[in-house]
């Protein structure tokens, strides 16, 4: 039998790299480079090079499971869907919630939100972006009018100063890190703000600002104060393209750089060096992620970054802007499609006007017009929860509490590819097809809409998410509204409802590299750089806003003296559902290693490889210690991919409006040997 090569997109991070899957006898047997793909030019990180093993791992869900007498038993699709439909028919709109994930395609997410709104008449729908970039959207919408990456990942290499904040880019976005390296090879200066001396700090950054966790606003305000004091702001840009400068200037006038040094722990001369380099750059580019966004003060952090870019004129040209790096393959699409409580598709606010608009699009009445519940509110308050492709038992904060709340649900449905920790608690588990078993589109970090091709058949009775939802909607009497026969048909409806996608045709997406939205007409090539002439705000101006430092929701004290923070490693992805079932990746990093400062380790008598226990106010976990000088005294870091040492057992749910972002990146813990 001949080998067949089918090109598609890597299923992991939002970089959206192309891969060629090697197929033999209907089974994927390897990954080959896709050299013509403009994003990655044939290069892939280790996850991309092994992006198929997990498809054939033990534990793939292949038939529906229904709980009987306390245990899950195989059942027919008819029985499983009928049971779900009966439960859903008898629940109030505000008592049901839908949780989804950026692992799903645009088509899956579009159909899910349509199901929630049309069939269940609820806006109770949210996704894991609540835990990543729910701070990004209000911060960037209020300053520049849109929460998206404004340059393209390819154009990053045009920058001559790159300020990376709160992201270990070499491990978590390796192919964007490659662009940063290229820029640096061409003379760009790379500044990193990160509490840890990560591989990015050691090998990519020219300047590493090792700030105390959670003090980003103070650092960025200090940079702006220096820029204004030294007259390095871009007066022309401020005058023509922004408003609110005087207010910001007044706010910063009383800002004390000595206080900033004490709060951030960054020596004043290092802050000044970074501020001057960024302000003097012709094209300054800011890249940030969870280390900035995943805080209860995430909005203030990001507003400050936007202010910094605006006062230096670093917007509207390739290689500039304030650019959120989104973690999932469909990291941008799972905002665009509207599977969130505050937006209908195309970022239309969940209000009466949008409800009317979509009643017209969909030919229905009575769509919900008030914002729905956010992720954790649904986990806490809804009696019926439908979870598609997400694993709150690992990715939501305060795992013990989440387990209790999920266990108390009147009815829990989980639709996934494996028996996850959340699926184990479900009343019905539905087997889903993976990305290569269904086709569709995804939209990556830089608004790049790409087509993923169906490569192989799903195992046994597993089905695409969108198809499962359509069948359920049909059983519930909505045949005509959910009569989609293919991802292409769904994409046609998306084009109508999401203006940013209106010029993108499913056929045009066959080309390598896809199309970046906004794409207003079929002859439009897509948009590399946003805000070239005006911002997305109502008046087209960038809105400068003062942002104040506030201390994190939980700080160390005598009982819990260490700051605990967490993140990702190169070899694993999110809750590990796929990477931990990939032999090569698991061999590299089989378990959670906890980084603790070498002096802290000595004080506690803890040696490399020894077992330790970490305890917060919410729970305790056991893991393996890795003393290192790459982390500051008093700080502890661990990756969060490993449910058996679940970082989120420790983290707290504290989250305020409007983002409802938990304080993921910071909580207080104590540590002991053994």
The residues of the shown chain that bind ligand SF4, judged by CB under 6 A, are 10, 12-13, 15-17, 40, 44-45, 47-48, 174-175
Whether 150 contacts 320, CB under 8 Å: yes
Provide, rounded to whole angstroms, the least separation between the CB of residue 199 and ligand SF4: 15
Alpha-carbon distance 425 to 438, whole Å? 27
Which residue number, 585 or 594, has a Cβ lying nearer to ligand SF4? 585
Helices (H), 438-478: 465-475
Provide, rounded to whole angstroms, the least separation between the CB of residue 42 and ligand SF4: 11
Provide, rounded to whole angstroms, the least separation between the CB of residue 176 and ligand SF4: 7
Which residue number, 148 or 175, has a Cβ lying nearer to ligand SF4? 175
How many angstroms separate the first and last alpha carbons of the chain?
A: 54
Which residue number, 169 or 387, has a Cβ lying nearer to ligand SF4? 169
Which residue number, 13 or 220, has a Cβ lying nearer to ligand SF4? 13
Provide, rounded to whole angstroms, the least separation between the CB of residue 19 and ligand SF4: 7
CA angle 407, 409, 412 (to 5 degrees): 95
Which residue number, 7 or 422, has a Cβ lying nearer to ligand SF4? 7
Residues near 259 by Cβ (< 8 Å), separated by ≥ 6? 218
Which residue number, 43 or 471, has a Cβ lying nearer to ligand SF4? 43
Length of the chain: 674
- Three-state DSSP at 659 gives coil
Alpha-carbon distance 171 to 173, whole Å? 6
β-pair partners for 28 = 23
Provide, rounded to whole angstroms, the least separation between the CB of residue 323 and ligand SF4: 16
Which residue, 619, 624, 600, is CA-closest to 674? 624
Provide, rounded to whole angstroms, the least separation between the CB of residue 178 and ligand SF4: 9
Tokens of 328: 């999932």
Burial class (CB in 10 A: 0-12, 13-18, 19+), 547: buried
How many C-beta neighbours within 10 Å does residue 510 have?
11
The DSSP element (H or E) to which 595 belongs, if any, is: strand 593-597
Cα Rg for the chain, rounded, in angstroms? 24
Which residue number, 216 or 446, has a Cβ lying nearer to ligand SF4? 446
How many C-beta neighbours within 10 Å does residue 362 have?
16
Which residue, 15, 7, 107, is CA-closest to 511? 7
Provide, rounded to whole angstroms, the least separation between the CB of residue 43 and ligand SF4: 8
Provide, rounded to whole angstroms, the least separation between the CB of residue 442 and ligand SF4: 10
Provide, rounded to whole angstroms, the least separation between the CB of residue 48 and ligand SF4: 2
Provide, rounded to whole angstroms, the least separation between the CB of residue 332 and ligand SF4: 13
Whether 501 contacts 336, CB under 8 Å: yes
CA angle 65, 70, 75 (to 5 degrees): 20
Provide, rounded to whole angstroms, the least separation between the CB of residue 305 and ligand SF4: 23
Which residue number, 44 or 659, has a Cβ lying nearer to ligand SF4? 44
Provide, rounded to whole angstroms, the least separation between the CB of residue 641 and ligand SF4: 13
Which residue number, 16 or 166, has a Cβ lying nearer to ligand SF4? 16
Alpha-carbon distance 468 to 458, whole Å? 13
Which residue number, 445 or 547, has a Cβ lying nearer to ligand SF4? 445
Which residue, 497, 430, 481, 411, is CA-closest to 119? 481
Instruction: List b or e across 191-226, with b for residues whose CB sees 16 or more CB atoms inside 10 angstroms.
Output: bbbbbbbbbbbeebbebbbbbbbbbbbbbbbbbbbb
Which residue number, 175 or 432, has a Cβ lying nearer to ligand SF4? 175
Provide, rounded to whole angstroms, the least separation between the CB of residue 133 and ligand SF4: 17
CA 229 to chain centre: 36
Which residue number, 64 or 174, has a Cβ lying nearer to ligand SF4? 174
Residue number closest to ligand SF4, CB atom: 48
Burial class (CB in 10 A: 0-12, 13-18, 19+), 114: buried
Alpha-carbon distance 368 to 404, whole Å? 29
Pairing of strands 161-165, 189-193: parallel
Which residue number, 13 or 148, has a Cβ lying nearer to ligand SF4? 13
Provide, rounded to whole angstroms, the least separation between the CB of residue 263 and ligand SF4: 34
Which residue number, 48 or 389, has a Cβ lying nearer to ligand SF4? 48
Pairing of strands 667-673, 611-615: antiparallel
């Amino acid at each position: 039998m001949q080998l067949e090569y089918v090109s598609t997109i890597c299923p992991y991070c939002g970089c959206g790299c192309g891969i060629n899957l090697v197929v033999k006898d209907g089974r994927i047997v390897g990954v080959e480079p896709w050299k013509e793909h403009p994003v990655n030019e044939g290069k892939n990180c280790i996850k991309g090079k092994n992006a198929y093993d997990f498809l054939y791992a033990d534990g793939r869900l292949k038939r529906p499971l229904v709980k009987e007498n306390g245990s899950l038993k195989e059942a027919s699709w008819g029985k499983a869907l009928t049971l779900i439909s009966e439960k859903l028919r008898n629940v109030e709109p505000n008592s049901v919630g839908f949780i989804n994930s950026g692992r799903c395609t645009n088509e899956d997410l579009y159909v899910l939100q349509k199901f929630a709104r049309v069939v269940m008449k609820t806006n109770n729908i949210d996704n894991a972006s609540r835990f990543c970039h729910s701070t990004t959207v209000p911060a960037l919408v209020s300053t520049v009018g849109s929460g998206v990456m404004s340059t393209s990942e390819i154009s990053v290499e045009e920058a001559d100063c790159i300020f990376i904040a709160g992201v270990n880019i070499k491990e978590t976005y390796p192919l964007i890190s490659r662009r940063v390296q290229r820029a640096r090879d061409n003379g760009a200066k790379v500044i990193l703000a990160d509490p840890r001396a990560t591989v990015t700090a050691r090998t990519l950054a020219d300047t590493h600002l090792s700030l105390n966790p959670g003090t980003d606003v103070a650092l960025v305000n200090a940079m702006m104060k220096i820029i204004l004091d030294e007259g390095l702001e871009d007066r022309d840009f401020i005058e023509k393209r922004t408003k609110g400068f005087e207010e910001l200037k007044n706010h910063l006038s009383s800002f004390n750089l000595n206080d900033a040094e004490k709060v951030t722990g960054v020596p004043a001369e290092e802050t000044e060096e970074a501020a001057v380099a960024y302000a003097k750059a012709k094209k300054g580019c800011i890249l940030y992620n969870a280390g900035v966004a995943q805080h209860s003060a995430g909005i203030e952090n990001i507003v400050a970054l936007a202010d910094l870019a605006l006062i230096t004129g670093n917007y509207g040209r390739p290689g500039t802007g304030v650019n959120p790096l989104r973690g999932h393959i469909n990291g941008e699409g799972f905002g665009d499609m509207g599977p969130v409580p505050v937006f209908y598709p195309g970022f239309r606010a969940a209000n009466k006007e949008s409800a009317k608009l979509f009643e017209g699009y969909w030919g229905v009445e009575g769509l919900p017009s008030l914002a729905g519940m956010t992720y954790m509110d649904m986990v806490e308050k809804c009696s019926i929860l439908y979870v598609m492709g997400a694993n709150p038992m690992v990715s939501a904060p305060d795992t013990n509490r989440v387990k209790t709340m999920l266990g108390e649900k009147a009815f829990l449905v989980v639709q996934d590819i494996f028996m996850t920790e959340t699926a184990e608690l479900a009343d019905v588990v539905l087997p889903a097809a993976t990305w290569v078993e269904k086709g569709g589109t995804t939209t990556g970090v830089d608004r790049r809409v790409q087509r993923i091709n169906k490569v192989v058949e799903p195992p046994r009775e597993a089905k695409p998410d969108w198809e499962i939802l359509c069948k359920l909607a049909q059983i519930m009497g909505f045949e005509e509204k959910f009569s989609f026969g293919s991802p292409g048909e769904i994409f046609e409806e998306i084009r109508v409802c999401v203006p940013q996608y209106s010029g993108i045709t499913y056929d045009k997406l066959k080309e390598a590299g896809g199309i970046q939205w906004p794409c207003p007409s079929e002859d439009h090539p897509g948009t590399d750089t946003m805000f070239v002439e005006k911002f997305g705000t109502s008046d087209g101006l960038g809105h400068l806003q003062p942002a104040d430092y506030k201390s994190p929701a939980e700080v160390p004290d005598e009982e819990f003296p260490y700051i605990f923070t967490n993140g990702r490693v190169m070899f694993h992805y999110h809750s590990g559902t796929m990477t931990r079932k990939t032999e090569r990746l698991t061999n590299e990093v089989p378990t959670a290693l906890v980084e603790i400062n070498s002096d802290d380790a000595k004080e506690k008598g803890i040696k490399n490889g020894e077992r330790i226990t970490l305890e917060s106010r919410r729970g305790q976990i056991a893991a393996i210690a890795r003393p290192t000088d790459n982390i500051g005294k008093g700080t502890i870091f661990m990756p969060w991919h490993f449910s058996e040492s679940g970082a989120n057992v420790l983290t707290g749910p504290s989250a305020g409006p409007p983002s409802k972002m938990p304080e993921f990146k910071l909580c207080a813990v104590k540590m002991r040997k053994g």
